[in-house]
Amino acid sequence: MAVYCDVCGRDTGLSRYKIMGNKYICTRCYVRCGSNRMITLDQAKNIIAKIDYNLSLISTFKTAKKVGNFLEVDQENRKWMIYPDGNREHAFLYNYEDLVDFELLENGTSVAKGGLGRAVVGGLLLGGVGAIVGGVTGAKKSQNICNSMIIKVTVQDLSNPAINVQLIAGGIKTNSMLYQQATNMAQEALSVFQVICRDVEQRRQSQPVEVSQPSAANEILKYKQLLDMGAITPEEYEAKKKQLLGL
């Protein structure tokens, strides 16, 4: 007897997974939900609906810069996306303006950080999006083992304001090639984030400052006060009032 996936409706075949509420999902949906059996059918549907929505947005994404297997930038449309688990289907998509700040943590210590409205702290040298240069130094202490290296990104999203990308988890010698690769990747990602912040700041500075114009009512009141003081004649006051009212 055929068993159909309660999420997508496909025949599960012999490979199916039972989730909460005695519901079954196919292998594809199971993987897309993070291989998690402890979810309800509604949760599974919401997860997959969000993934499909992201994929529709990703289909128009024009990648100009990619860092590792977690960060991409669409320079033409001023968008960026990040997927900490390495799965592009699970990407979070943002506009340039959504980036608030970013930080590199090594063994729980802040190594470098930056963001909108402030310079990078930690010796990060910046290049263009296509030519990242420099190195991450700063507050890093001399240690032989790196147990953790995390890039923390803060965005304007109350439902998910902080995103962590773990580059190292577990003891890695600091003189190893793996450590150097992770450091280079972190440097490149932070440089890209700072370029994004710089773009946002430059656009804000180039926008013309709007000068608020006094309202017609306030201007009429001002001329009425001049009339009461005898500084202008009633004729002058009436003429100015008609002008302000567009009569």
- The full set of domain ranges for the chain reads 16-58, 65-206, 216-245
pLDDT category, 43, cuts 50, 70, 90?
Answer: very high
Flag whether pLDDT at 133 surpasses 70.
Answer: no
Mean residue pLDDT of the chain comes to 84
- pLDDT-derived band of residue 82, with 50, 70 and 90 as boundaries? very high
Give the pLDDT score at 238: 83
pTM score of the predicted model: 0.65
Q: Which residue has the higher pLDDT, 137 or 26?
A: 26
Once rounded to an integer, what is the mean pLDDT over residues 62-78? 95
The β-bridge partners of 164 are: 152
Residue 72 CA to residue 92 CA, distance in Å, equals: 10
List of residues 6+ apart from 160 with CB closer than 8 A: 92
DSSP state of 212: P
HEC assignment per residue over 140-163: CCCCCEEEEEEEEEEECCCCCCEE
20 pLDDT band (50/70/90 cuts)? very high
Q: How far apart are CA 29 and CA 120, in angstroms?
A: 42
- Counting Cα atoms < 13 Å in the Cβ hemisphere of 91 gives 22
Q: pLDDT digit string (tens) for 137-184?
A: 444 455 689 999 999 999 998 878 999 999 999 889 999 999 999 999
Is residue 22 predicted with pLDDT exceeding 50?
yes
Q: Of 141 and 81, which is predicted with more confidence? A: 81
Rg of the chain in Å (alpha carbons):
28
Which helix (H) or strand (E) element contains residue 19? strand 16-19
Amino acid at 108: G
What does the pLDDT read at residue 95?
93
pLDDT for the residue 139: 43
**Helices and strands in the chain: count of H runs, count of E runs:** 5, 11
**Where does the pLDDT of residue 210 fall: very low under 50, low under 70, confident under 90, or very high at 90 and above?**
low
